[in-house]
Structure 1
Amino acid sequence: MLNMNFLESLSLPYHADHWQPSPANGVWRYPLEREQAESGHVTSLVRFEPGARFPEHLHPMGEEFWVLEGVFSDENGDYPAGTYARHPPGSRHGSFTEHGCTIFVKLNQFAIDDNQWVTVLPEQQLWISGSAGYRRLPLHHHNGVHTSVLHFPDGGTFPACCYKGGLELLVLTGSLTNTTLAARDTEFAIETSPENSTEKNDTFDRLSWLRFAPGSQPHLQVAADTQLWVRTGHLSPLS
């Protein structure tokens, strides 16, 4: 297992040398959460070299992804950078790319009754502007779990509250500073444990990933022109 204790808050800066080869030639993984080696709950970055393919596979409890770079493809079509998609439990596909791509993907994390197919292409994005200094792009919600992208054109403070169901962030562009706790970098080949963590600085650039345990009240300062993929309410609620 890797980072599967959801009562533990993690702040992981991106390291370009932490990519690992997958069973498919030309497909690389950057694991963030992993229940088992090739099955179960998985959160990761995945990079396809030009022309790479991943064989057809089943998503027992669903798959969702955000395309970070390039064009990701399957038998249903092409997904350019900035696309968000959800394939419900029981779906399957074979994936490939012509010119190369990188995606953020979460596997086997759907609720059993969440069977909605979702594809939000860049030209379909409906941003909502608020008074708090950021724009919000709603992507999906189900049973108290909300997924969106936040854009801070001029920087600012991430919405502060008690996230009773937890909070997860991926830095898509820009950077943020976590003033809640010292950043802890859990090495990829090492299973999650406090003694294997080392302190780093508390600024997180593109592709950094943060997860806050249920009940957390994070304090995050966001740099100008930063976009964050955000999920709330999906971790075990406080009893």
Structure 2
Amino acid sequence: MLNMDFSQRLALPYDPSRWQASPAPGVWRYPLEREQAESGHVTSLVRFEPEARFPEHSHPRGEEFWVLEGTFSDEQGDYPAGSYVRHPPGSRHGAFSREGCLIFVKLNQFAADDQGERKLLPGQDLWITGEHGYRRLPLHKHGGVGTSLLDFPEGGRFPPCCYKQGLEILVLEGQLDEGPLSYPALSWLRFPAGAVPELEAGRRTRLWVRTGHLPA
């Protein structure tokens, strides 16, 4: 098991030495949360080398991913950088990348009644401009759990709300600061229920954010 105590505060700056080979040639994994070696609850970065493939596999409790670089593909289509996809519980696919890609993926974390499939591709302009200097792109919401992107063109304070049931952040671009600590791109942070961190985003910072999924 890795980082499966959800009452624990975690802040992991990106460290390229953490990459590990997967069972598939040319596919590398950077584990963040892991219940078991090849099954159960998993959160990770995954890198495909050009023409690498991962064999067909199932998602007993769903799969979701955000494409950070390159183009990720499966039998249903191609997903360029900036794509968000949810495959419902019980789905299956084989994965590959012609040019190579980097994705952020979460496996087997759907609620039992969350059966929806979602594909959000770049160019679908669904950003919401707020009053506090940042934009928000809603990705998914179900049962009090919300997933979105936050974009800070000029930097600014991370909104101090909605943390009562937990907070998880992946820094996609730029830098996120917590006091004297700085987290560059691909850093991952997780705050337990009840935490109210004071976070400051640098200029041109973009974050993947989830709230409401870590009840006390």
Task: Compute the TM-score of the two structures, normalised by the length of structure 1.
Answer: 0.89
Report the RMSD for the aligned CA atoms in angstroms: 0.8
- Counterparts of 1:215 and 1:170, CA distance in 2: 19
Which position in structure 2 is the counterpart of 1:93? 93
Which position in structure 2 is the counterpart of 1:182? none
- Counterparts of 2:91 and 2:111, CA distance in 1: 14
**Code of the aligned partner of 1:43:** T
Task: Compute the TM-score of the two structures, normalised by the length of structure 2.
Answer: 0.98
Choose which of 215, 218, 221 in structure 1 pairs with 2:197.
Answer: 218
- Counterparts of 2:125 and 2:45, CA distance in 1: 22
- Counterparts of 1:233 and 1:178, CA distance in 2: 21
Task: Indicate whether 1:114 and 2:114 are aligned.
Answer: yes
**Code of the aligned partner of 2:122:** P
Which position in structure 2 is the counterpart of 1:172? 172
Preserved contact between residue 172 and residue 207 of structure 2 (Cα < 8 Å): yes
**Code of the aligned partner of 2:154:** D
Mapping for residues 28-47 of structure 1, pairs under 5 Å: 28-47=28-47
Preserved contact between residue 69 and residue 81 of structure 2 (Cα < 8 Å): yes
**Code of the aligned partner of 1:204:** Y
CA drift at 1:132: 0.8
- Counterparts of 2:112 and 2:142, CA distance in 1: 11
Structure 2 regions of 5+ residues with no counterpart?
A: none
Q: Which runs of 4+ in 1 moved over 6 A?
A: none
Which position in structure 2 is the counterpart of 1:183? none
**Code of the aligned partner of 1:83:** S
Structure 1 regions of 5+ residues with no counterpart?
A: 180-200
Q: Deviations over 1:17-61 (max 9, x none)?
A: 210000000000000000000000000000000000000000000
Secondary structure in structure 1 of the residue aligned to 2:17:
helix
Task: Indicate whether 1:234 and 2:208 are aligned.
Answer: no
Preserved contact between residue 3 and residue 34 of structure 2 (Cα < 8 Å): yes
CA drift at 1:178: 1.4
CA drift at 1:162: 5.8
Choose which of 176, 184, 204 in structure 2 pairs with 1:205.
Answer: 184
Preserved contact between residue 34 and residue 42 of structure 1 (Cα < 8 Å): yes
Task: Indicate whether 1:64 and 2:64 are aligned.
Answer: yes
Preserved contact between residue 65 and residue 103 of structure 1 (Cα < 8 Å): yes
